[in-house]
Amino acid sequence: MRVVFLGTSSATPTPQRFLPSVALMRQGDIFLLDCGEGSQIRFRRAGLRFSRLRWLLVSHMHGDHITGLLGLLMSLQMAERTAPLEIAGPVGLQDYILTNRRLLRTEFGYELRFTELTEPFEVVYDGPDFRLEAARLDHRLSTYGYALAEKPLPGRFQAEVAAELGVPFGPLCGRLQRGEAVTLDDGRVVLPEQVLGPSRPGRRVVYVTDTRPCPGGVLLAESADLLIHEATFGADLADEARVKKHSTTREAAEVARLAGARHLVLTHFSPRYVDLEALRAEAAELFEPVDVAWDLREFVLEPVP
């Protein structure tokens, strides 16, 4: 699992920073979190493949987070995509995309599957090995944060224990690793729990942007392995952050601390900031480890040991 920041500016792009977009890769699939203007350019520059894109997860309907959507969708059409594309976001997202498609007189040869969010907390997708969660944040219009949460992983296969029980090396070991009971030639049944170690927690990546510190953000970030949190303003502009419904560096750090996150990455910086290290240092006074994102910076989440 890895995360690449495609755009890290807020409101307007700068010569160094594109508008908000984050690509999360898991087992070959790409989840795109927001899609500001120019996201597809950074997508290509990061070496990502359009064919791997599975989900678009949109936080809210402010222009700096959605103006790249139509260009990306049309590029997928030009690439002759046929696989369905899942799109989640607040109410109005479907109308925005379909209206623009009509006005641009373009069609897509692939299905768009929309999930529009209305509740304070929703499970967007619940699959066999991971789930997507969304929680309402506190901004000037309906805004959601997202979490990709892997489900608990089976314990490590203990080959020496299996051998002692008489399980021959081969397909039966594989079935036990997948959680299936097996029957040996002598009629004995070996259960997975006899040869597997303790189950292991899955990883959790959380995206919280354009918000005041709020219960929804803390809920999503609980025990996150990686928390991506907006830090539009430095601590000295706390009053402006409050008025504009954004967070400061220190407020993002406090969310990470309250939620028990393991690693905080700050993003969504006001164009006024050039020295991002100064912003990181402010957050580090309350929480460590903390990093700042910049365009095309990558973070890798190691496999669960």
Percent of the chain clearing pLDDT 90 (strictly above): 91
Q: What is the mean pLDDT of residues 173-193?
A: 91
Domain identity same for 181 and 285: no
Domain identity same for 179 and 207: no
Q: Check residue 76 and give left, alpha or beta (phi > 0: left; psi -120 to 50: alpha).
A: alpha
291: in domain: yes
Q: Rg for the chain (alpha carbons), in Å?
A: 22
pLDDT of residue 199: 80
Domain assignment of residue 188, given as a range: 159-195
pLDDT of residue 151: 93
Domain identity same for 134 and 177: no
Domain identity same for 289 and 260: yes
pLDDT of residue 303: 77
30: in domain: yes
305: in domain: no
- The C-alpha atoms of residue 98 and residue 116 are separated, in whole angstroms, by 14
Beta bridge partners of 30: 25, 53
pLDDT of residue 237: 98
Domain identity same for 146 and 31: yes
Catalogue the active-site residues.
Answer: 64
Domain identity same for 133 and 170: no
pLDDT of residue 183: 93
- The C-alpha atoms of residue 32 and residue 9 are separated, in whole angstroms, by 16
Domain identity same for 141 and 244: yes
Q: What is the mean pLDDT of residues 226-236?
A: 98
66: in domain: yes
Domain identity same for 256 and 142: yes
pLDDT of residue 120: 98
78: in domain: yes
Reported as a single tens digit per residue, the pLDDT across 151-164 is 988 788 899 999 99
pLDDT of residue 284: 98
Residue 134 φ/ψ, nearest 5 degrees: -135, 140
Domain identity same for 73 and 175: no
* Angle ∠(229,35,263) on CA atoms, nearest 5: 20
Domain identity same for 61 and 204: yes
- The C-alpha atoms of residue 36 and residue 40 are separated, in whole angstroms, by 9
CATH number at residue 231: 3.60.15.10
- The C-alpha atoms of residue 54 and residue 283 are separated, in whole angstroms, by 33
In this prediction the pTM is 0.90
pLDDT of residue 155: 83
What type of residue sits at position 17? R
Residue whose tokens read 């290290």: 277
Reported as a single tens digit per residue, the pLDDT across 12-46 is 999 999 999 999 999 999 999 999 999 999 999 99
Domain identity same for 143 and 46: yes
Domain identity same for 186 and 127: no
Question: Is the Cβ–Cβ distance between 54 and 88 less than 8 Å?
Answer: no
Please say which residue of 195, 218, 251 terminates a domain. 195
Q: How many domains does the chain have?
A: 2
Please say which residue of 195, 219, 246 terminates a domain. 195
